């Protein structure tokens, strides 16, 4: 049996494990408590819907989280998501594979160019990816003329959303497969350690021989591919491409990555944690839908959740928590030794 100190060291003291596990556990309990506020127990259809939302969100969480491992942010994921979806619909009418290939290639090129700018010229990723995000939305609207574009290949639309084992679909299975593949690549190679190393201290990692530039370019390219794939599969599912998905996908992806235990400062996080973060947000979204909450309430809820996570991540708050814990521990130790000293004086 594992001793409590071992558990404390291996789990409770590791935010990248504690935060996603706690968040997913709370979300699961809230999901199972649906009868309290939705008038009925969660059905298989609710779980299917939650996993459909997961299929849309999870690639964005994974792409954003990977860049955050390295201490960067890819704000362009929503722009790539919109452009990838539009290209897939534009070129995938005759055969879906052509549309997917064009979308993934565009995502890879966009990501690689951004990664090269960030790595080679030491430019902050925030302005680079924010500018790319705005430019990609403009490019997407120019392709569609500012209007939604219909996808006429009904067989593909039906296939990507067909039910598998009641609660799954090809889209949700592909999203889960992306986590498995990238988790194995980072977990079974030196790349996982090196990505976190350049997030912790880029200069030191370069001195120790880590090819930080190549890794950054690869991470941004992967993020671009994931975002484009998510947009393409979603638009195949909807049978239409929307040139402006709004900012909600970016907000929810950031919430999912942070709930997954990724540090805002970089150097911390796991692919399993990102999976838990994406599942947590998907379950919460389904709870909001099943409970019939107003859209603005859901936005306020996600905003409050994001503020709470950022506050917990604040270094000053962590230092205050550590000082308080040490002070309480010292006080309890003094209280435990006081009776012993009193007995010694009496004898």
Domains and CATH numbers, the chain: 45-311 (1.10.3470.10)
Please say whether the beta carbons of 227 and 77 come within 8 A. yes
> Buried b / exposed e across 6-30, counting CB within 10 Å, b at 16+?
eeeeeeeebbbbebbbbbbeebeeb
The pLDDT profile of the chain, 347 residues, written as one tens digit per residue, is 445 555 555 555 666 788 888 889 988 998 888 777 666 666 788 899 999 999 999 999 999 999 999 999 999 999 999 999 999 999 998 899 999 999 999 999 999 999 999 999 989 999 999 999 999 999 999 999 889 999 988 999 999 999 999 899 999 999 999 999 999 999 999 999 999 899 988 888 888 888 999 999 999 999 999 999 999 999 999 999 989 898 889 989 999 999 898 988 888 889 999 999 999 999 988 888 888 877 777 778 777 777 777 776 666 666 676 677 777 777 777 777 765 555 555 55
* Cα–Cα dist 212/93, whole Å: 40
Report pTM.
Answer: 0.86
pLDDT attached to residue 314: 66
Residue 116 burial class via C-beta count within 10 angstroms: exposed 0-12, middle 13-18, buried 19 and up? middle
* Cα–Cα dist 252/302, whole Å: 8
Provide CB contacts within 8 A for 173, sequence distance 6+.
164
């Amino acid at each position: 049996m594992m001793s409590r100190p071992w558990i404390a060291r291996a789990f409770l003291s590791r935010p990248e494990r504690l935060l996603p596990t706690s968040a997913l556990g709370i979300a699961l309990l809230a999901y199972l408590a649906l009868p309290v506020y939705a008038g009925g127990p969660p059905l298989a259809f609710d779980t299917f819907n939650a996993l459909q939302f997961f299929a849309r969100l999870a690639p964005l969480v994974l792409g954003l989280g990977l860049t955050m491992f390295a201490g960067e942010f890819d704000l362009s994921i929503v722009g790539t998501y919109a452009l990838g979806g539009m290209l897939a619909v534009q070129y995938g009418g005759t055969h879906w594979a052509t549309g997917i290939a064009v979308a993934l290639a565009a995502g890879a090129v966009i990501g690689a160019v951004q990664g090269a700018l960030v790595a080679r010229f030491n430019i902050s990723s925030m302005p680079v990816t924010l500018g790319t995000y705005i430019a990609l939305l403009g490019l997407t609207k120019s392709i569609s003329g500012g209007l939604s574009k219909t996808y006429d290949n009904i067989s593909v639309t039906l296939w990507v959303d067909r039910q598998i084992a009641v609660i799954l679909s090809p889209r949700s299975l592909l999203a889960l497969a992306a986590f498995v593949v990238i988790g194995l690549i980072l977990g079974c190679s030196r790349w996982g350690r090196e990505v976190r190393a350049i997030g912790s201290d880029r200069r030191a990692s370069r001195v120790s021989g880590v090819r930080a530039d190549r890794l950054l370019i690869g991470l941004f390219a992967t993020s671009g591919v994931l975002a484009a794939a998510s947009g393409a599969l979603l638009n195949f599912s909807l049978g239409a491409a929307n040139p402006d998905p709004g900012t909600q996908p970016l907000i929810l992806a950031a919430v999912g990555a942070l709930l997954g235990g990724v540090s805002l400062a970089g150097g911390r996080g796991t692919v399993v944690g990102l999976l838990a973060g994406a599942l947590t947000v998907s379950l919460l979204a389904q709870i909001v839908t099943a409970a019939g909450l107003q859209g603005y309430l859901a936005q306020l809820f996600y905003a409050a959740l994001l503020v709470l996570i950022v506050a917990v991540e604040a270094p000053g708050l962590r230092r205050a928590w550590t000082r308080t814990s040490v002070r309480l521990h010292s006080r309890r130790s003094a209280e435990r030794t006081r009776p012993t000293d009193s007995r010694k004086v009496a004898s």
